[in-house]
Amino acid sequence: MIIDWYPGHMKKARQQIIDLMPKIDLFIEVLDARLPVSSANPMLERIRRDKPCVKVLNKNDLADPLVTREWIRYFEQHAGVRALPIEARKRADVSRIINLCRNLVPGRGKPGRSLRVMVVGIPNVGKSTLINTLAGKKIARVGDKPAITTCPQQIDLRNGVLLSDTPGLLWPALDDPIGARRLATSGAIGDNAIDYIGVAQFALEFMLQRYPQAVLTRYKLEQPPETAALGLEQIGRRRGCLLSGGEVDSHRAAEIFLRELRSGVLGRISLETPEDVATSETDETGIV
Ligand SMILES: Nc1nc2c(ncn2[C@@H]2O[C@H](COP(=O)(O)OP(=O)(O)O)[C@@H](O)[C@H]2O)c(=O)[nH]1
Ligand SMILES: [Mg+2]
């Protein structure tokens, strides 16, 4: 999945959401539970103003449950916001979203006064999957490059909720280099657009700090490698990623490591915590 976001695309996507605002009571913002701040686009907070928002932390099956609990507490401190960990394919999780939506907009969600909802988020967080589960049928294509200029229709979910069939598309915010590398690690950025080895080294360094045992066990390493570059080389050797001269093919090793990390075989991993985000905000303002 590659989406090339140019200023023109961003302006159009933003305008599309702004144009629909008068017809929306509430946003369902889809975030990746493994990186719920880096997978958000702060522009949404600016344009939604006081409009209520249910933040769904999707791909909960891949995220560290303890960290996800911290994130839910973090988001629920904000007025007009509720947060929920979900797996977008699970009907039970998705019914909980509808209940939260009703609670946030008490006057709506009844026959004649439907609750009008729009799903928003950056590419690859699971918007289409969620819309399909909400609608109970396949109306949005999963894993496909979304069209930005289609004419949105509302779907009657027959439970007092009207859902925009086209997700509000936000672009990944790549201005913070650490956030961008977390996004690349998660698979949210087209693989052709990333420095594969650099991202794998970033991810491995992170794993060796936060989840060292998962790496040691998975790749049968006796002790933590001194650097991520050395670690990637050891992983490459373990997996037989060798070039003709016997050297490790770092690119293949990087591919294997990132694929396995993303698929969950190294365990449930969260790439950022509320504390990480608070620290980086302090750094930016210079008040360390
Ligand atoms: N593990 C996991 N994968 C998910 C979940 N929800 C969606 N996905 C996968 O994430 C990818 C992107 O999903 P999609 O719905 O197309 O995202 P969109 O670009 O935001 O519309 C697809 O491969 C989905 O199968 C989830 O809860 N858990
Ligand atoms: Mg989609």
- The full set of domain ranges for the chain reads 7-169, 195-285
Question: In angstroms, what is the C-alpha Rg of the chain?
Answer: 20
| C-alpha 188 to ligand 2 mean position (Å) | 12
Q: Which residue has the higher pLDDT, 157 or 237?
A: 237
Contacts (Cβ under 8 Å, ≥6 apart) of 38: 173, 176, 178, 179, 180, 182, 183, 271, 272
What is the average pLDDT across 76-81?
94
Q: What pLDDT score was predicted for residue 158? A: 85
116 pocket-lining for ligand 1 (C-beta < 6 Å):
no
Query: 195-285: what fold?
Result: Conserved Hypothetical Protein Ylqf; Chain: A; domain 2 (1.10.1580)
The string of pLDDT tens digits covering residues 167-184 is 899 999 999 999 999 999
- Say how many Å lie between the CA of residue 125 and the centre of ligand 1: 6
Across the range 154-159, mean pLDDT stands at 87
Closest protein CA for atom 1 of ligand 1: 59
Write the residue with the smallest CA distance to atom 10 of ligand 1.
126
Residue 192 predicted with pLDDT over 90:
no
Whether residue 159 has pLDDT greater than 80:
yes
Q: What's the rounded mean pLDDT across residues 50-78?
A: 97
* Topology classification of domain 7-169: Rossmann fold (3.40.50)
Pocket test for ligand 1, best of 3, 129, 186, 268 (most atoms within 8 A of CB): 129
Q: Tens of pLDDT along 90-106? A: 999 999 999 999 999 98
